Structure 1
């Protein structure tokens, strides 16, 4: 029997860069949230692991055999192999944690079918700093490189959200390399809505320097009646939160009419 998992799109409601660490990584404080849509993965028992790729953004994965899905499978012990089909619906290098979300879906599927080893969190973080958060795909605060997770009171569940990307992949290392080196300050404390409202994204400016079209996306979303507009992660996807579903769908329609080549996805926060 096949099992299907959604790799929920990750967004950073706020992302504060505190300092560059001696190991070359950056000390972060971020508010993770997840949209109720994303890539789709289908799993079936097989004699050995195999991986099939499809979907509108499949061509952006230049090395399918080295995909994080295959890496995640190789790191999780099981009694049998798994045949995995990834429907790649999220753009690559877009600030949505697409690869990490795909790996998170693998962990959830293996948990349901075979169970996870006790050290699954250590295995997850070795795949990427965002992967532990993406396994549960629940709103939380990330510290360190983003892998040290803390619970947060989520008062934004069900909030309508519109994701928009100008269609230009953006390298995360390139964006961090342009960070101005100034401490972005701590995240505020409190409910998720406060973290989102009073936080910011310290990577927005360097990302716009690399891809000026991000500024155009933000400007367009600012005109839609959204309650919050911000870039996610290292870009270039931007998100807009809305008070009502109708306002969100109207905004999506306007963006599609005025910028038909921009990618977009609508949904609600989990």
Structure 2
């Protein structure tokens, strides 16, 4: 059995306030790409995890990463042998670990069933994990776990992901946020929210990792519909009117910055 761990994007990310528990109140437009990491799973005598792929080295302890923790969080008869093909950069604003955990939930659902409290189990693994289980466009509030569906008029939109191959931890970026509440997400369908929204973590991320501004400038020179940083960075994305425009932009970026990681895909 193969299951794609769809790359997560924050098409908009508004940080509203810092909560008393130390976390931040967020409003975000979650979107998911057609591509990402890939999990291959088969029945086994016990749970096993193997990691391969370009970014396998960044996953960490096989016994205590999000894939292993997701397996441990779900009841399943027998064992599951999982091979994780790590195609997404780590600490990149793409929800890679959360997406991998979400894919584990879907594997268990297909082979067995999910428990009735699967949302609570997913949330204990991370604020993005509930959204990644279904991997459907949604507005997220709270820490991102309170999900509301919306009209997805961006499905199929070509998108180019670019990362300067710099890992950026979420904690320092949130700590560098200036604390100013710049207002709520716009109302409407996905396109209206994306175009009218912003990413409040872009400025603090650029302050820590200035090359993000260079990535955004390079993407904006390719005439996209929208170019923005995802999550807490350092991955940036650009939406295009058609696949030819996206592929042309990918070729341009590859020529001017051959050392940057790129993925040409589309929104689900």
> Residue in 2 aligned with 1:198?
196
> Residue in 2 aligned with 1:22?
20
- Match among 48, 51, 56 for residue 50 of structure 1: 48
> Residue in 1 aligned with 2:167?
169
> Residue in 2 aligned with 1:152?
150
Partners of 2:131 and 2:205 lie apart in 1 by 23
Kindly provide the CA deviation profile for residues 209-261 of structure 1, in whole angstroms up to 9, marking residues without a partner as x: 11000000000000001010000000000000000100100000000010000
**Displacement after TM superposition at 1:64 (Å):** 2.6
**Structure 2 stretches lacking a partner, 5+ long:** none
For normalisation by structure 2, the TM-score amounts to 0.99
Runs of 4+ in 1 over 6 A off after TM superposition: none
Kindly provide the CA deviation profile for residues 85-110 of structure 1, in whole angstroms up to 9, marking residues without a partner as x: 00000000000000000000000010
- Match among 230, 233, 251 for residue 231 of structure 2: 233
> Residue in 2 aligned with 1:108?
106
> 1:118 and 2:119 equivalent?
no
**Displacement after TM superposition at 1:60 (Å):** 1.3
**Displacement after TM superposition at 1:80 (Å):** 1.3
Partners of 1:62 and 1:139 lie apart in 2 by 29
Kindly provide the CA deviation profile for residues 131-187 of structure 1, in whole angstroms up to 9, marking residues without a partner as x: 000000000000000000001110000000000000000010010000000013110
Does the residue aligned with 1:186 lie in a helix, a strand or coil? Answer: coil
Partners of 2:61 and 2:17 lie apart in 1 by 32
Partners of 1:33 and 1:155 lie apart in 2 by 11
**Structure 1 stretches lacking a partner, 5+ long:** none
Does the residue aligned with 2:125 lie in a helix, a strand or coil? Answer: coil
Does the residue aligned with 1:66 lie in a helix, a strand or coil? Answer: coil
**Displacement after TM superposition at 1:79 (Å):** 1.3
Structure-to-structure mapping, 1:31-50, within 5 angstroms: 31-50=29-48
- How many residue pairs match? The answer is 268
For normalisation by structure 1, the TM-score amounts to 0.99
Does the residue aligned with 2:228 lie in a helix, a strand or coil? Answer: strand
> Residue in 2 aligned with 1:249?
247
Kindly provide the CA deviation profile for residues 53-101 of structure 1, in whole angstroms up to 9, marking residues without a partner as x: 1000011123232110000000100111100000000000000000000
Partners of 2:74 and 2:250 lie apart in 1 by 39
**Displacement after TM superposition at 1:196 (Å):** 0.2
